Amino acid sequence: AASANLAKILTPNNWSALATDLSANHYRITGVELGGTSGAEEINGIVRFGDGSEAQNSMALVAHDLVLDRVYVHGLPTQAVRRCVNLQSATSAIVDSWLSECHSNNGDSQGIVGWNGPGPYLIKNNHIEGGHQAVFFGGADPFITNLSPSDITIIGNHITRPASWVNVWQTKTIIETKNARRMLLEGNVIENVWASAQAGYALLLKSENQSGTAPW
């Protein structure tokens, strides 16, 4: 990133460096470094596409046609980052990018997470690090009736976490779903799973009505 002289968008606090409004659409973010300043002790999500809250309660409000392309999204080694990319949108892609230092001991942390967007999603040719999960769909009930994140393509990625995180940052699984439909995992390198906050499964795929509000 330094040698490429990337433009930087850095948050100084808990708020995202980059976030979309409701119904935002057709943005492609290319060649940008996204993260937090050293003064940001904890970041809830560096990038937020869509909205995971009850404000996004209908399909008409979902942001869509969004792409992260050749971006560097990262926390700092000592920084608590709950999510590097919060993916609550429709028709979105993360390609050819580097997501790292996505970790926290103050609640579950992910490289990529989504629960309130319909997809489809393309996650292709990225380096993805995540503490509790590197890639996670579900974990909270959606606020849009009958929604499940769907048509998720995860191909050609390096999905990992550094061994230096052992006894420093909590980990659980590395790829997990609780609410997802039609997901393809193909041609990925998936590594570095150990017992920490959980037993440490590489893959945990299940269907769960997380909070009792999504019986579908």
Which pLDDT tens digit goes with each residue over 196-216? 999 989 999 988 889 999 999
User: For residue 2, what pLDDT is reported?
Assistant: 81
Reduced to 3 states, what is the DSSP secondary structure of residue 18? strand
Contacts of 197 (CB under 8 A, 6+ apart): 132, 170, 171, 172
- Model confidence at 1, in pLDDT bands (50, 70, 90)? confident
Distances (CA, A) of 204 to 13, 34, 111, 208, 214: 32, 29, 16, 12, 20
Rounded distance between C-alpha atoms, residue 126 and residue 113, angstroms: 15
User: For residue 59, what pLDDT is reported?
Assistant: 98
pLDDT at residue 186 is higher than 90: yes
Q: Can you tell me which residue has the tokens 């945990």?
A: 204
Structure tokens at 17: 């460096």
Distances (CA, A) of 76 to 34, 39, 45, 92: 11, 11, 13, 26
Structure tokens at 55: 């404000």
Q: Tell me the mean pLDDT in the region 165-187.
A: 97
pTM of the model: 0.97
Residue-averaged pLDDT of the chain: 96
- Model confidence at 157, in pLDDT bands (50, 70, 90)? very high
- Model confidence at 135, in pLDDT bands (50, 70, 90)? very high
pLDDT at residue 195 is higher than 90: yes
Amino acid at 181: R
Contacts of 11 (CB under 8 A, 6+ apart): 17, 35, 36, 37, 40, 43, 46
What does the pLDDT look like over 27-61, one tens digit per residue?
999 999 999 999 999 999 999 999 999 999 999 99
